[in-house]
A and B are shown apart, each in its own frame.
Chain A
Amino acid sequence: MSFVATKRMTLFDFVNYTLLALFSLLCVLPFIYVFSVSFTDPKVYVPFKFYMFPEKWSLASYEYILSTNAYINALKSTVFVTVVGTAIGIAVSFMFAYALTKKQMPGRNLMLGMVIFTLLFNAGILPNYLLVKELGLLNSHWSLIWMGLTNSWSMILIKSFLDSLPPELEDAARIDGCSDFAVFWRIVVPLSMPAIAAFTLFYAVSHWNTYFNALIYLSDSEKWTLQVLIKALVIDADSNSQIVGADARIVPQETIRMASIMLAMAPILVVYPFLQKYFAKGVMLGSIKG
C-alpha cells in the first residue's frame, strides 16, 4: 500500500477506481439479474426485458420450488453430504497433517511422499468410478462424502500451516506430561482455529458445489443433489429447447429457474461475509513465498 502524504484524488486514482468498480459491477450484475427475475411475479414477467429490480415482488417462484419433492429431496441430500463430509474431512485431514509435521517419526517421509504423489498423479475418472462400484457405494451419498473428503493440496497447505506454529508451546506441554494426543487436542487445535475455519469453508463449498461425482455415482434421481437437479432444470431444459425446438418440451418458467439458482447459491452467500476474514489467510498458508 502506498500511503502518500496527500490524499487528493488524481486522474490516476479516478481511472483506477472507475475500472475497479466496473469489474466489480461485472461480477455482481448476473446476481442482480437472477435475484430480480426470481422475485418477480410470474404473471407480470415479460421475457424480452432486462430486469435490474423486480417490478412486482412475489415469492411465487420460491413457493413453487419449495413445494416440490424433487427440490426438498435434493436439498436434504446436499446438506447431509456437506455437513457429514466437511466434519469428517476436517478431522481426518488435520489429524493426518499434524502427524506429517513430525520429521523424526519413522515412516513419515513415506506417508508424505504418498500424499505428494497423489497431488501429481490421479488415477482418473474410470478407476475412481470402478473403486466406488467395488466398494458398493454406487447410488449412495457416502460415495460423494468419501470421494470429496480431502485432497493432497489441502493436506499440504494444512501441514505447512501446522509447521508454522511455534514449537515452544508444544514442548512446554510435553514437559508438563501431556501425551502427543493431548498436545494435539489442547494446544494444536485451539491454535489452528483460523485454519480450521478457512478449510471448513473450502471443504463445505466443495461438497456443496460437487456436480460431476454426483452425476456419475448417483443414478437414482431420488438421491440427486442440488447441483444435478439444477443442471437438469436449467441447462438441459434450455439446450433441448435450442436443439429440438422450443415447443418440444415444457420448459420450466424462467422465474422458477432463477429462483432455483438463487436457492443453490443462498448458503454460500449467507456464510461468505462471516468467513471472509479467514479464507484469505487460508489460501495463503504455505503457498509460494514471493
Chain B
Amino acid sequence: MRSVTAVSGGAAPEAAAKSPSLFRRMWRYRWLYLLALPGLVYFLVFKIAPMWGLVLAFMEYNPYAGLWASEWIGFKNFEDLFAGEKFYLMLRNTLAINILGLIFMFPVPILLALMLNEVRHGIFKRINQSIVYLPHFLSWVVVASLTFFLLSADIGVVNKILVTLGHEPITFLTNPNYFWFIITVQNIWKEAGWGTIIFLAALAGVDPRLYEAAVMDGASRFRQIWHITLPAIRTTIIVLLILRLGNMADVGFEQVLLMMNPLVMSVAEVFDTYAYSVGILRGQITFGVAVGMFKGVVGLVLVLLSNYAVKKMGHEGIY
C-alpha cells in the first residue's frame, strides 16, 4: 500500500488508486445501509406506497366488484369536482383563510420578535418567551375547546359578560360572518409566539457594536430598529413570505374540521374537509381521492414555484 489518500466524509479510508466496483463501494457502507434500512422501509411503506392509491382518482368506485376492480373513467371525477357548486366555495374559503392569515398573522411574529429584541431585562424576556411559545404545544382540540369556553352561546365567557350587561348573546360559533375571523385569531394565538424563534435567532447574530455606534451618532430607538434590526432579518422575512405563499393551498385541516358545524359549512368547507366527508363519511372513495389529489397537485406546484423564487434570489431553498 503506497498511495493512501485520505477519504474525507466517506467511510473507512481506503486506497483510491482504482475506482472500486459498485459492490465494493456498497460493502464499505454496509453498516450505514443497516442504519438506513428501517427508515427507508418506513418511508417506502407509509409515504410512497399510498401514492399508488392515487390511481383511484381515475376510477369510478364499484362497491360490488371491490375497490381495486373499479372501472376506469379517466378525468371524470375531476370534471365533476370542477363542475360542482362546492368547488367555487372551497376555492374561495381556502383563499380567504390564507389571505387573512397573510395580512394579519404573518406580521405578528416579526413585530413580537422586534419587541422582544428591545427588551433589556433578561428575565422579563425569558418569561415572555416561555409564555408565548406555550400555545404552540397545545392540540387543536384543546385550542378549539378553549374557543368554545370563550365564545359559545350558552357557556362562553364573552356571552356571559354580554348577558350580565343586558345584551343578547351572540352566536359567534354558528354565524358564518365570524368564522374566518375566529380561525385567523386562533392561528395568531397558537403560532405567533412560536414564529418569533426564527427571527430572534437571526437577531442574535447582530453585532452589538452596530447599536453602540448608532447610539454614538444619536440614533433614536426607532432609528436603530429601522436601520440595524430590520435589515438583519429582511432576508428571513422575504424567504418566509415566499414559502408562506407556497403553502396557499393548505388550510389548517384539523383546526377547520374542529371549528366547523352545519351552520357555517358554506364558509368552512375546504378541499381536505370535503375529501374526508365525501370519501370516508359518504363512501365515495374514488371521488374523495380525486379531491385530495387536486389539492396536493396545486400545493406541489405552488411550493415548487416559491422555492424556485427563493433560489433565484440567491437564498437556500427548503431543499
Q: In the docked arrangement, what's the CA distance between A280 and B133, Å? A: 9
Which of these binds chain B: A53-61, A64-72, A79-87, A237-245?
A237-245
Given contacts A10-B221, A16-B115, A290-B236, contact A126 B292 (CB under 8 A): yes
Instruction: For the complex formed, measure the closest distance between the CB of A151 and the CB atoms of chain B, giving whole angstroms.
Output: 8
- A268-290 at interface with B (beta carbon < 8 Å): 268-269, 272-273, 276, 279-280, 283-284, 287-290
CB-based contact A212/B257 at 8 Å: yes
With an 8 A cutoff between CB atoms, is A256 at the interface?
no
Q: What are 28 of the A-B contact pairs (CB < 8 Å)?
A: A1-B117, A2-B224, A13-B120, A20-B128, A23-B193, A30-B149, A33-B149, A47-B155, A102-B32, A121-B300, A125-B276, A126-B288, A129-B280, A130-B50, A130-B56, A130-B67, A152-B47, A174-B12, A180-B35, A227-B139, A234-B145, A238-B148, A242-B152, A264-B141, A264-B142, A276-B130, A288-B240, A290-B202
Instruction: For the complex formed, measure the closest distance between the CB of A154 and the CB atoms of chain B, giving whole angstroms.
Output: 11
Instruction: For the complex formed, measure the closest distance between the CB of B53 and the CB atoms of chain A, giving whole angstroms.
Output: 3
Given contacts A27-B134, A106-B25, A242-B154, contact A125 B38 (CB under 8 A): no
CB-based contact B285/A126 at 8 Å: yes
Instruction: For the complex formed, measure the closest distance between the CB of B35 and the CB atoms of chain A, giving whole angstroms.
Output: 4
CB-based contact B39/A231 at 8 Å: no
With an 8 A cutoff between CB atoms, is A209 at the interface?
yes
With an 8 A cutoff between CB atoms, is B104 at the interface?
no
Given contacts A180-B11, A180-B31, A230-B145, contact A118 B208 (CB under 8 A): no
> Which residues of B have CB within 8 Å of A98?
32, 35
Instruction: For the complex formed, measure the closest distance between the CB of A179 and the CB atoms of chain B, giving whole angstroms.
Output: 5
- A190-241 at interface with B (beta carbon < 8 Å): 205, 208-212, 216, 227-228, 230-231, 234-235, 238-239, 241
CB-based contact B173/A242 at 8 Å: yes
With an 8 A cutoff between CB atoms, is A19 at the interface?
yes
> Which residues of B have CB within 8 Å of A128?
50
Instruction: For the complex formed, measure the closest distance between the CB of B55 and the CB atoms of chain A, giving whole angstroms.
Output: 10
- With CB as the reference atom, state the residue of chain B lying closest to A37: B149
Which of these binds chain A: B84-92, B95-103, B159-167?
B159-167
Most buried by A among B53, B161, B239, B262: B53
Q: In the docked arrangement, what's the CA distance between A235 and B189, Å? A: 19
- Per-residue B-contact encoding for A11-30, CB less than 8 Å = 1, 0 else: 01100110111011011101
**Interface residue from B112, B119, B258, B303 paired with A23 (Cβ < 8 Å):** B112
Instruction: For the complex formed, measure the closest distance between the CB of B23 and the CB atoms of chain A, giving whole angstroms.
Output: 9
CB-based contact B253/A127 at 8 Å: no
**Interface residue from B13, B139, B319 paired with A264 (Cβ < 8 Å):** B139
CB-based contact B197/A280 at 8 Å: yes
Q: In the docked arrangement, what's the CA distance between A16 and B206, Å? A: 20
Q: In the docked arrangement, what's the CA distance between A179 and B292, Å? A: 45
CB-based contact A118/B48 at 8 Å: yes
With an 8 A cutoff between CB atoms, is B82 at the interface?
no
Interface size class of A (residues with CB under 8 A): 35 or more
> Which residues of A have CB within 8 Å of B49?
131
**Interface residue from A95, A119, A243 paired with B318 (Cβ < 8 Å):** A119
> Which residues of B have CB within 8 Å of A127?
50-54, 56, 289, 292
CB-based contact A180/B211 at 8 Å: no
CB-based contact B46/A147 at 8 Å: yes
Interface size class of B (residues with CB under 8 A): 35 or more
Total contacts A to B, CB within 8 angstroms?
327
8 nearest interchain CB pairs?
A96-B39, A124-B292, A127-B53, A209-B139, A290-B202, A99-B36, A180-B31, A127-B50
Q: In the docked arrangement, what's the CA distance between A142 and B160, Å? A: 43
> Which residues of B have CB within 8 Å of A171?
8
Given contacts A119-B319, A184-B35, A230-B145, contact A146 B258 (CB under 8 A): no
- With CB as the reference atom, state the residue of chain B lying closest to A49: B160
> Which residues of A have CB within 8 Å of B163?
48
- With CB as the reference atom, state the residue of chain B lying closest to A133: B67
Q: In the docked arrangement, what's the CA distance between A16 and B115, Å? A: 6
Instruction: For the complex formed, measure the closest distance between the CB of A163 and the CB atoms of chain B, giving whole angstroms.
Output: 10
> Which residues of A have CB within 8 Å of B112?
20, 23
Q: In the docked arrangement, what's the CA distance between A13 and B292, Å? A: 49
- A115-140 at interface with B (beta carbon < 8 Å): 115-116, 118-131
CB-based contact A2/B208 at 8 Å: yes
CB-based contact A3/B300 at 8 Å: no
Instruction: For the complex formed, measure the closest distance between the CB of B20 and the CB atoms of chain A, giving whole angstroms.
Output: 11
Most buried by B among A30, A128, A181, A273: A30
